[in-house]
Amino acid sequence: MLLTNISRLVTISSGVVENAALQIESGKIKWLGYASQAPASREIFDCQQTVVTPGLVDCHTHLVHARYRQKEYAMRAEGKNYLEIASAGDGILSTVQSTRAVSFDELYEISAKRLQEALFFGTTAIEIKSGYGLDIDTEIKILQVVQKLQREFPLTIVPTFMGAHTFPEEFKNRRLDYVHLLVMEMLPAVAKLGIIKFCDVFVEEGAFSPEEATQIIEAAKKYKMECKLHVDQLTPGKGAELAVKLKAVSADHLENISEEGIAALKKTNTVAVVLPGASFFLGVKPAPARKMIDAGLKVAISTDYNPGTNPSLNLMLTATQAVSFCKMTCDEVWKGITLHAAEALQLEKEVGSLAVGKNADLILWGAPDENYPIYRYGRKSSRHIFIKGKKC
């Protein structure tokens, strides 16, 4: 199939082609360039002067969970902070309770609706973390929901095990025992599913210490899981430095990264994933993305979709927040929600930019240029979405 009449083809990796065309074969991009030089094709799709970009890559989400927590949002508005709410047994643990209680079928149904919502806003590849089970059965239930989403949806879905999201109630005073359970029982059990690509740990006061995280990640590597970390989110904790030490594929959050942390990340391939939607929603200062980019770090942007700190799957809205709130340029943001996000998932050979051989994951925007959908925030500006060459 040949897509013609493209006003601007935004490749991300090699600039913008005006008056362009793009050829798709077997779900992949076979050719792209000036429309005047396009190969002949029996099947033509007229893009009607739309702008075409790659599909969006949301590289950090907690999509599978049961109940929402709007009560907590209201509590914060009345002056309680996130850590106070968490230590009162609300926060992550209340979602753990509701996610344990729900059946597989119900959990699948609500998660499928959310994935549909992400697709509606243009996400065509997405990472999904477990971490609202914190016991073997529920972590497996969540990951099996992710596995079923992989079967039922055309999106590229990357599963991450995050049994180290926080300490469950029953292990509150037995931290060592929970780490032991994670390493000796949960990791081997989830690895058997054969789908887990990453292991993530929330390194924070009240969650896991750097030493505990090291133990968990080293065990995960034995099961061929790569490392991701939630670090320096609520308090500064030398998290970026830890990510470097553990050779993390990405270090996520980084709202409180230090100068030393930036310098440490600079020498590595670790992608810095910033989550301005979570800072916006919590009303706190965002990660210093401008400083990180100026220092030469590779910065990706993601929603961090979850019921506590960002209940939005609109990655284009997050893009606006990254421009207005983190002082990133529109070009940097486009890279952050496509190619760099793909790198944070080690998927850069398949998705995240428009190049021959990559997936034909495309968004056709009813917009005069690619900055317009960022500028017209909160609105759905896309007209059509293609995944692996098929219109969704």
Structure tokens, 190: 């989830």
Give the separation between CA 187 and CA 178, rounded to whole angstroms. Answer: 12
Give the separation between CA 83 and CA 150, rounded to whole angstroms. Answer: 34
- Rule CB under 6 A: which residues touch ligand NIG? 62, 91-92, 95, 202, 230, 233, 278, 304, 306-309
Using CB positions, name the residue nearest to Fe ion.
304
Q: Report what 308 binds from ligand NIG, Fe ion, none; CB cut-off 5-8 Å by kind.
A: ligand NIG
Place of tokens 């119900």: 106
Q: Report what 135 binds from ligand NIG, Fe ion, none; CB cut-off 5-8 Å by kind.
A: none
CB closer to ligand NIG out of 51 and 216? 216
H-run or E-run covering 320: helix 315-326
Structure tokens, 35: 């429309």
Question: What residue type is 82 in one-letter code?
Answer: Y
Question: What residue type is 98 in one-letter code?
Answer: S
CB closer to ligand NIG out of 71 and 192? 71
Place of tokens 């939607």: 277
Phi, psi of 375, deg, nearest 5:
-65, -40
Longest dimension (CA), the chain: 69
CB of 29 to ligand NIG, least distance (A): 33
CB of 302 to Fe ion, least distance (A): 8
* Beta bridge partner(s), residue 160: 129, 198
- Rule CB under 5 A: which residues touch Fe ion? 304
CB closer to ligand NIG out of 178 and 386? 178
Q: Report what 52 binds from ligand NIG, Fe ion, none; CB cut-off 5-8 Å by kind.
A: none
CB closer to Fe ion out of 10 and 299? 299
CB of 62 to ligand NIG, least distance (A): 6
CB of 378 to Fe ion, least distance (A): 22
Using CB positions, name the residue nearest to ligand NIG.
308
Closest CA to 63 of 94, 97, 121, 107: 107
Buried b (16+ CB within 10 A) or exposed e, 260-294: ebbebbbebebbbbbbbbbbbbbeeebbbbeebbe
CB of 5 to ligand NIG, least distance (A): 41
CB closer to Fe ion out of 160 and 353? 160
Q: Report what 159 binds from Fe ion, ligand NIG, none; CB cut-off 5-8 Å by kind.
A: none
Q: Report what 92 binds from ligand NIG, Fe ion, none; CB cut-off 5-8 Å by kind.
A: ligand NIG
CB of 277 to ligand NIG, least distance (A): 10
Give the separation between CA 187 and CA 161, rounded to whole angstroms. Answer: 8
CB closer to ligand NIG out of 63 and 297? 63
CB closer to ligand NIG out of 62 and 335? 62
CB of 207 to ligand NIG, least distance (A): 7
CB closer to ligand NIG out of 162 and 347? 162
Closest CA to 186 of 171, 173, 172, 203: 171
Structure tokens, 135: 């016991």
Distance spanning both ends of the chain, measured CA to CA: 15
Q: Report what 45 binds from Fe ion, ligand NIG, none; CB cut-off 5-8 Å by kind.
A: none
Place of tokens 């750097």: 210
CB of 60 to Fe ion, least distance (A): 6
